[in-house]
Structure 1
Amino acid sequence: MAEQQATASSMILVEPSLLNVSGFENALARGWSPDPRRQQDKAYVEAELAALRHDRVGFLTRLTSSDVIATSVPDRESQRLVLRPFWIWDGEFCGYITFRHLPGTSHLPLHLPGHVGYSIVPWKQRRSYATQALRLLLPLAAQAGFERISVICNEDNLASRRVIEKAGGMLHRTGADPSDAPDTVKLFFWLATVGGL
């Protein structure tokens, strides 16, 4: 256990770049999906890998574009979304975490119930990396003017719930997410960026 904590404490967040993209590529080649909702979607992973190998610069530009248009809510006007992606790094690629929000406000986009998305590669799980990544993201969110951020998980995802609670998440409601299956219950947490809630 002490070894795992030491490993997590030496973990950092790095911005995606050509210098470290090979770790992301290797993770895709091993079948990992950067989208947690598509972990079993082999076609998606293979398409991402092919796009990366075809045009590394273009792939990174798409991945790191901090200003994207979100259009996934039917009958609603498109919303511009700010994305700040980071790779979780312990000397090699461990996964990613993304901070997302509407420009100039702490409000969430219509189609996103949480400010944060993250995924750890399977061979780096159970080392407290996701919890540490959330903790490292908090001062970055504070710098962007956020006093708290929203993080969600499925009600039946006990591992993700533990990650969020260990990072300081406080449950504030349960409910459905319009972008997910109607029978999927979500847990909505607030995470204070500095001090307490």
Structure 2
Amino acid sequence: MPIPEATSTARLVWPSHEYLAGYVAALERGWSPNNLRPEATQEELLLIRADADGFLKSLVDREAKGPPVALPDGSTVPRLPGYRRWLWDGEFCGSIGLRWQHGTNALPGYCLGHIGYGVVPWKSGRGYAKEALRSLLPEAASVGLGYVEITTSPDNVASQHVIRANGGVLVEEFIKTAELGGTPELRFRIALGHLA
């Protein structure tokens, strides 16, 4: 199947073999899908080389059947229901993930937010993160969330802009727990009632 031509905007796609080469190329250029654990880049490359089908299936885990999740300090915690989508404009642009607990908006203390995203540096500044977040919010409402929380560091002004552009309101500044790095963080909330 031919890969679509580049367009002026990115769209969300489900991880699949059609887009996997672009994802691998981004990892090989040093981009990490996990801003708390840069070593996830090499771990994912190894997983893809060992079992590409299994890797792709692991990115959509609505029932949290996958293995525990590694934290920056090396400890592991139970996986939450969730999935990742990829951003595509004819090339791989980044990823955005959604995680939740069934029947509640609450998240365990080891999970900083419902949504995490990252755009590859060579595609930044094009509004892709803002559009990806906007596109994912109805999906968050569809799993029963009344709001989503998203965190970012105080110095990440670009991410704060993305969140605010999608209706995010700052609810607190806090210090991450030691296992998550122990650094300052901002927590934003986006209400989803209008999308339900």
Instruction: Classify the TM-score, shorter chain.
Output: 0.7 to 0.9
In the alignment, structure 1 segments of 5+ residues that lack a partner are 1-5
User: Could you say if the C-alpha distance between residues 128 and 30 of structure 1 is closer, same or farther in structure 2, counting changes exceeding 3 Å?
Assistant: same
Amino acid at match of 1:63: L
Moved more, 95-104 or 53-62: 53-62
CA distance in 2, matches of 1:50, 1:70: 17
Distance in 2 between residues matched to 1:27 and 1:189, nearest whole Å: 28
CA displacement, residues 96-145 of structure 1 (integer Å, 9 cap, x when unaligned): 00000112222112311210111111111111111111111111011111
1:133-164 superposed Cα distances (whole Å, 9 cap, x missing partner): 11111110111111210001011211211111
What corresponds to 1:7 in structure 2?
8
What is the one-letter code of the residue matched to 2:152?
A: C
When structure 1 is superposed on structure 2, of 172-181 and 117-126 the one drifting more is 172-181
Q: Which is further off, 90-99 or 47-56?
A: 47-56
Query: 2: distance between equivalents of 1:99 and 1:46?
Result: 22
Partner of 1:49: 45
Structure 1 pair 194–128 and aligned structure 2 pair: CA distance change class (3 A) = farther
Q: 1:69 to 1:28 in 2, by over 3 A?
A: closer
Aligned partner letter, 2:17? L
Q: Is 1:62 aligned with 2:58?
A: yes
Secondary structure of the residue aligned to 1:109 is: coil
Identity %: 38
Rounded Cα–Cα distance in structure 2 between residues aligned with 1:23 and 1:119: 15
Judging changes above 3 Å, is the alpha-carbon distance between structure 1 residues 50 and 80 closer, same or farther for their aligned structure 2 residues?
A: closer
- Contact 1:82–1:100 (CA<8 Å) still a contact in 2? yes
- Which consecutive residues of structure 2, in runs of 5 or more, have no partner in the other structure? 1-6
- CA drift at 1:180: 2.5
Judge conservation of contact 1:13–1:136 (CA < 8 Å) in 2: yes
Give secondary structure in 2 for the equivalent of 1:36.
coil
Equivalent residues in 2 for 1:144-163, closer than 5 Å: 144-163=143-162
Runs of 4+ in 1 over 3 A off after TM superposition: 68-74
The normalised TM-score by structure 2 is 0.82
Q: Hey, what's the Cα distance between the residues in 1 that align with 2:180 and 2:194? A: 32
Distance 1:103 1:80 in 2: 13
Q: Tell me, yes or no, if the aligned pair for 1:79 and 1:109 is still in contact at 8 Å.
A: no
In the aligned structure 2, how far is the partner of 1:164 from the partner of 1:171?
9
Within 5 Å, which residues of 2 pair with 1:39-188? 39=38, 41=39, 44-66=40-62, 67=64, 68=66, 70=68, 79=78, 81-178=80-177, 179-182=179-182, 184-188=183-187
